Structure 1
Amino acid sequence: MAGEDNEIIRNIKARRSVRNYLDRPVSEESVKAIIDAGIYAPTGFGSEPWFFVVVQNKEMMKRMSDYCKPKLLAQLQDIPNDNVTDFKKQLSHEDFDVFYGAPILVIVLGSNAGFTTDYDCAMCAQNMMLAATSLGIGSCWVGTACFIQDNVEFMSELGIPYDYRVIAPIVFGYEGKAAGRSPRKEPRAVWIR
């Protein structure tokens, strides 16, 4: 297939959502490189609407995890999907960590004033996850953590400006026990020639 020998395409295909991390810190230099890659994402009208919060404090991450689990569980109650059922069981366990034991959480926040903020920050997040993969660092976008947006105490502790919202909470770290990657379906596409 075309592109198989292309380093960028190989990196894109190597990226996966890691849900098991070693108790090993990620260097500040690596985190800065990952965030720097993020800010090269395209933005509507050149707005660059992002703001980043880096959390390494395990106690704070545990409090956030404990706060978010019941919120998500309540939202998932009526969804009959098998994958959701398994995840609901995990969320029900007191010791389950929505951050999967990762040493670092980077929260990508977006300005409420931006017209294309959600898209811009999602592209920034993807750049960050690809950069992490290229550095041998695992990542996972943890949507569950978006519930911290509803908690004034967390928003204040994290120093999040009042005019920003949580878009992409992403954990980073070195992968522990590797899990296989789910195969991808063939893309559905219509060609107009």
Structure 2
Amino acid sequence: MNLGATIIKSRRSVRSYTDKPISDEIIKETLECGRLAPTAMNLQPWLIGVVTDRDLLKQIADLTDHGKFIADSAACFVTCGDKGAKYYLEDCCAATMNMITCLQAYGVGSCWVAGDKKEYGPKICELLEIPPPYVLTSLIAAGYPKEIQVPKKKPGKEIFFTNRWKPEEE
């Protein structure tokens, strides 16, 4: 197995963090990996940032419906997309996954928290002074894992196919 596959296969959503801060080098590399994600027509329709201020992290956590653990993270990466770009959501999701993979490579746990279509999106954009036409697409809580839970995943035989879908016979 190659290094990329190992990193991807080892990634888990982490919602419980230690107090250890994330270095500026790792934060910078993570933002760079987001910036370098592929985009339709190379439009790069995003603003990508990071929040490390404890008060702002708590405010973001309080606004979310399923991201209360953001308050205890060392950092929260924020991706906002230009809603006028046809494929802003796909492009911003690619940037989000690049950043999550980068964090995992450094041993930093993360959890993707939805932003697009969420009622709290405009409130978080206002809090962070994100200008229109950008909308919140994702939040990534990040920090060194206090614990890691391994969820059960569907076996490949239930979801993989080649050319056309044909369920395996029992």
TM-score interval, smaller chain: 0.7 to 0.9
Is it true that 1:106 corresponds to 2:77 in the alignment? Answer: yes
Structure 1 segments (4+ residues) deviating >6 Å:
none
Is the 2:75–2:142 contact (alpha carbons within 8 Å) kept by the matching residues of 1?
yes
Is the 1:18–1:140 contact (alpha carbons within 8 Å) kept by the matching residues of 2?
yes
Q: 1:127-146 residue pairs with structure 2 within 5 A? A: 127-143=98-114, 146=118
Q: TM-score, normalised by structure 1?
A: 0.75
What CA deviation, in whole Å up to 9, does each residue of 1:28-74 have, x standing for no partner? Answer: 211110111122221101101110231112222222222333xx6xx
1:79 paired residue number: none
1:144 offset after TM fit, Å? 6.5
1:92 paired residue number: none
1:100 offset after TM fit, Å? 6.0
SS in 1 for 2:72: coil
1:57 paired residue number: 53
Is the 1:34–1:131 contact (alpha carbons within 8 Å) kept by the matching residues of 2?
yes
1:38 paired residue number: 34
Q: Which runs of no fewer than 5 residues in structure 1 stay unpaired?
A: 73-95
Q: TM-score, normalised by structure 2?
A: 0.84
SS in 1 for 2:153: coil
Corresponding residue pairs, total: 162
Q: Provide the alpha-carbon RMSD of the alignment.
A: 2.2
Which has more helix, going by share of residues?
Answer: 1
Among 124, 132, 141, the residue aligned to 1:162: 132
1:175 paired residue number: 145
2:120 paired residue number: 148
Q: Which runs of no fewer than 5 residues in structure 2 stay unpaired?
A: 165-170
1:16 offset after TM fit, Å? 1.0
What CA deviation, in whole Å up to 9, does each residue of 1:121-169 have, x standing for no partner? Answer: 1011111101111111111101269543232xx4333120121000011
Distance 1:10 1:163, change over 3 A: same
Is it true that 1:188 corresponds to 2:159 in the alignment? Answer: yes
Provide the rounded CA distance (Å) in 2 between the counterparts of 1:185 and 1:144: 29
Among 64, 71, 94, the residue aligned to 1:123: 94
Provide the rounded CA distance (Å) in 1 between the counterparts of 2:119 and 2:20: 27
SS in 2 for 1:124: helix
